[in-house]
């Protein structure tokens, strides 16, 4: 309908084209009249006959009009049309205004159908899409992105989301796509409880404090000697703790604490008055006489431990210390005595060869002598003694037990 109206207006405007020509020709006529009037004045002066001149002027005017008629060749148009043409000019102006108005309205309708104000959404300054309603969109973020159905999620982290008001083509608005992008770029943060014995490599991560406490209690009761530092720490991690991972970590820390406890118990067992006997004096030997034994070869109970071994087998210092004797003593044959501190000394008798001198510092495991059968001995063996404050102690309480 609007198009038909525009067509009608344009057609109407075309009809007045001829009248525009007429307006122009009328303007020429006025010029001619002025010229003729001028000429007539001259004639008046010359002839001094007003009437005659007037007739002449009229004739001239008529003549000039006839001339103009011939020149334009449009006698019908100019006849009695001057007033009517002025009226039509106004109509044309009104019609042009109408066209402009309609065009403006149509353009506005077109623009508002195709384009709309919307919010450009950026994530960390990068455009991720457009949404039409900021408030409802923010509500959607809250409900669909920042809220997790997983009860272990402490919160969902999302980087900087910003909005910019713009005029955009309607087909670029896609809220669900923007929501999905935000979902993909969000991070679920899980609150977890770390059970650790001071080393995070062996830590167990669980989802609840109760579960953590249960693990601590169990480990402390099983491995009481090595769980003093066992503690629970609350952490926020980007990864969820799986049941499988919990079981693996529990097995790992269990194994580690078990080994630590066994090591600690071994050290405790081999520690004499605070001195840890780290090394056996002879490895691969065989116990041939125990501490306290009454045997025909001697007239008193056995004060040490005999370890039978082949001639020349290395004899090692059982702990760090200082050699306080390296020489021959009756009954002991070739003998080495080491002071380990804390009033703890060890004796190594019947040696075939002595390898360290009195005053030498030795480390646990250092070879100090060789197995032999010197002194009161019936075969190759090491006579080994431990004394604390000069008193004999049973070596098998600590070694070869
Ligand atoms: Zn002995």
Distance of CA 282 from the midpoint of ligand 1 (Å): 14
288 Cα to the center of ligand 1, angstroms: 9
One-character DSSP codes across 351-379: ESEE-S-TT-EE-TT-EEEE-B--SS-SS
Region for 400 from its dihedrals, namely left if φ exceeds 0, alpha if ψ lies in -120 to 50, beta otherwise: left
Say which DSSP state 137 is in: H
DSSP annotation of 189 = E
Per-residue confidence (pLDDT) for residue 27, from 0 to 100: 47
Give the distance (Å) from ligand 1 centre to CA of residue 277: 19
- Per-domain residue ranges for the chain? 2-79, 199-269, 275-397
**Dihedral, CA atoms, 221, 222, 227, 233, nearest 10 degrees?**
-70
pLDDT at 22: 44
Mean pLDDT of 171-180: 91
Say what the pLDDT of residue 291 is.
Answer: 94
Assigned superfamily of 275-397: Glucose Permease (Domain IIA) (2.70.70.10)
**Cα(365) to centroid(ligand 1), Å:** 21
What integer pLDDT is reported at residue 20 of this predicted model?
Answer: 45
**pLDDT tens readout for residues 307-357:** 999 999 999 999 999 999 999 999 999 999 999 999 999 999 999 999 999
298 C-alpha vs ligand 1 centroid, how far in Å?
A: 9
How far, in Å, from the CA of 52 to the mean position of ligand 1?
Answer: 181
pLDDT over 70 for what percent of the chain?
A: 78
What is the value of pTM for the model shown?
Answer: 0.56
pLDDT at 15: 55
- Could you give the CA distance from residue 347 to residue 95 in angstroms, rounded to a whole number? 130
Please identify which residue in the block is written with the tokens 């919010």: 119
Task: Supply the pLDDT for residue 35.
Answer: 52
User: Dihedrals φ, ψ of 224, to 5°?
Assistant: -65, -20
265 with 225: CB under 8 angstroms? Answer: yes
Q: How far is the CA of 156 from the centre of ligand 1 (A)?
A: 74
User: What are phi and psi for residue 342, nearest 5 degrees?
Assistant: 55, 30
Taking the centre of ligand 1 as the mean of its atom positions, its distance from the CA of residue 348, in whole angstroms, is 10
Which range, of 3-17, 142-156, 183-197, 269-283, averages the lowest pLDDT?
A: 3-17
Up-side HSE of residue 217: CA atoms within 13 Å toward CB? 6
């Amino acid at each position: 309908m609007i198009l038909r109206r525009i067509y009608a207006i344009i057609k109407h405007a075309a009809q007045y084209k001829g009248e525009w020509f007429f307006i122009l020709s009328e303007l020429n006529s006025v010029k001619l009249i002025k010229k003729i009037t001028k000429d007539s004045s001259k004639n008046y002066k010359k002839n001094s006959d007003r009437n005659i001149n007037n007739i002449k002027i009229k004739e001239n005017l008529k003549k000039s009009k006839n001339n103009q008629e011939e020149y334009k060749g449009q006698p019908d148009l100019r006849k009695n049309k001057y007033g009517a043409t002025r009226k039509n000019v106004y109509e044309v102006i009104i019609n042009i205004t109408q066209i402009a108005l309609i065009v403006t309205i149509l353009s506005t309708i077109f623009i508002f159908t195709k384009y709309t104000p919307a919010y450009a959404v950026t994530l960390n300054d990068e455009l991720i899409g457009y949404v039409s309603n900021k408030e409802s969109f923010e509500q959607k973020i809250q409900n669909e992105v920042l809220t997790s159905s997983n009860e272990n999620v402490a919160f969902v982290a999302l980087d900087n989301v910003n909005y910019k008001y713009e005029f955009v083509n309607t087909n670029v608005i896609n809220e669900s796509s923007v929501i999905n992008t935000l979902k993909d770029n969000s991070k679920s943060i899980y609150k977890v409880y770390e059970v650790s014995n001071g080393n995070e490599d062996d830590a167990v991560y669980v989802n609840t404090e109760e579960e953590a406490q249960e693990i601590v209690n169990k480990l402390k009761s099983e491995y009481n000697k090595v769980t003093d530092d066992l503690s629970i720490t609350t952490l926020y991690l980007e990864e969820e703790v799986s049941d499988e991972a919990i079981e693996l970590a529990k097995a790992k820390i269990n194994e580690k604490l078990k080994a630590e406890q066994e090591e600690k118990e071994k050290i405790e067992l081999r520690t004499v008055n605070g001195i840890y006997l780290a090394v056996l004096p002879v490895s691969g030997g065989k116990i041939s006489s125990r501490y306290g034994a009454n045997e025909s070869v001697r007239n008193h109970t056995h004060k040490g431990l005999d370890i039978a071994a082949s001639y020349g087998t290395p004899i090692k210092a059982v702990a760090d210390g200082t050699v306080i004797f390296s020489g021959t003593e009756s009954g002991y044959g070739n003998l080495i005595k080491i002071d380990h501190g804390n009033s703890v000394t060890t004796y190594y008798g019947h040696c075939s060869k002595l390898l360290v001198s009195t005053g030498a510092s030795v480390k646990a495991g250092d070879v100090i002598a060789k197995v032999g059968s010197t002194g009161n001995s019936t075969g190759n063996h090491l006579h080994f003694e431990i004394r604390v404050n000069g008193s004999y102690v049973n070596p098998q309480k600590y070694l070869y037990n």
